[in-house]
Amino acid sequence: MSVETKAPVVVLVRPQLGENIGKAARAMLNFGLTEMRLVAPRDGWPNPAAGPAASGADVVLERAQVFETTAEAVADCANVYATTVRKRGVTKEVVTPEQAAQEVATQPGRSAFLFGPERSGLETADVALARKILTVPINPEFGSLNLAQAVILCAYEWSKRQALVQPTVEDILPPAPQEELEGLIIQMEEALDQRGYFRPAARAEASRLTMRNVLTRPGWNHLEVRTMRGIMRYLVKPPRQSDS
């Protein structure tokens, strides 16, 4: 079974606002989920308010399927998880999003995460269709998550088991080699020495050591070192006639 086929289906049961459907789609696509199913959306489907709220996650909305009942929406799923903060009188095993994601990735058959209406959550009949209840530790004095927040918790845990790339990783350059950093330190020492910075002589060595510690702590990459050296060259050169 491919990764796409193994990915859990996100089922929004009787969602109320198009904006919330769009935000849920955005949360899904952020973490690699694309299959959304809607059960009796209150304002019908398609909903013009969903698109702007999805912020570009149009592929999720375009593929969304609509069902009349929750049972129909999960008919092809062997592993159904009901997201709820309480059991609503139904005795079922309770798992976290992390545990559910692990199970989805390893157990046979399709899986689905059920999310209830924004105001009331899943009804007892919806929860009864699930194999397990999915919930998170939450502040007992304020246990209110909006729909997109609930979706993103589950989608994120699923994504941790997939080959998604952190957006910032490729932008981070490795630290500059010591040779380049040493050149910057020497350049700054020479410039400061010319201005009499390292005085009195008894404190000169301590001042140089402190400066070296400051400059070696950030882990600058080679572009940052080059920039700092360019700044130093500009600062120590005689001013041009037009600058005076």
Q: Express each pLDDT in 104-152 by its tens digit.
A: 988 889 999 999 998 888 998 999 999 999 998 888 788 778 899 999 9
pLDDT digits 0-9 by tens, 137-196: 888 788 778 899 999 999 999 998 875 655 554 566 778 888 988 998 999 889 888 888
Position 244 in a domain: no
Using alpha carbons, list the distances in angstroms from residue 4 to 78, 102, 106: 16, 15, 14
Where is the domain boundary, 168, 197, 223? Answer: 168
In the predicted model, is pLDDT for residue 89 greater than 80? Answer: no
3-state secondary structure string, 23-92? Answer: HHHHHHHHCCCCCEEEECCCCCCCCCCHHHHHCCCHHHHHHCEEECCHHHHCCCCCEEEEECCCCCCCCC
Cα distance between residue 119 and residue 20, in whole Å: 12
Q: What CATH number has the domain bearing residue 40?
A: 3.40.1280.10
For residues 115 and 154, membership in a common domain is answered with: yes
Cα distance between residue 79 and residue 111, in whole Å: 5
Position 205 in a domain: yes
Strands 36-39 and 93-95: unpaired
For residues 179 and 223, membership in a common domain is answered with: yes
Position 141 in a domain: yes
For residues 185 and 87, membership in a common domain is answered with: no
For residues 100 and 199, membership in a common domain is answered with: no
Cα distance between residue 69 and residue 72, in whole Å: 5
Position 64 in a domain: yes
pLDDT digits 0-9 by tens, 20-63: 999 999 999 999 999 999 999 999 999 999 999 999 999 999 99
Give me the chain's average pLDDT, please.
86
Q: Which two tokens stand for residue 209?
A: 């050591």
Question: DSSP letter at 209?
Answer: H
Of the candidates 139, 155, 144, 110, the one whose C-alpha atom is nearest the C-alpha of residue 1 is: 110
Where is the domain boundary, 113, 140, 168? Answer: 168
Where is the domain boundary, 141, 168, 195? Answer: 168
For residues 193 and 164, membership in a common domain is answered with: no
For residues 151 and 182, membership in a common domain is answered with: no
- The distance of Cα 234 from the centroid of its chain, to the nearest Å, equals 41
Helix (H) or strand (E) holding 10: strand 9-13
The range of the structural domain enclosing residue 194 comes to: 173-239
3-state SS assignment for residue 139: coil
Cα distance between residue 239 and residue 105, in whole Å: 65
- Total structural domains within the chain: 2
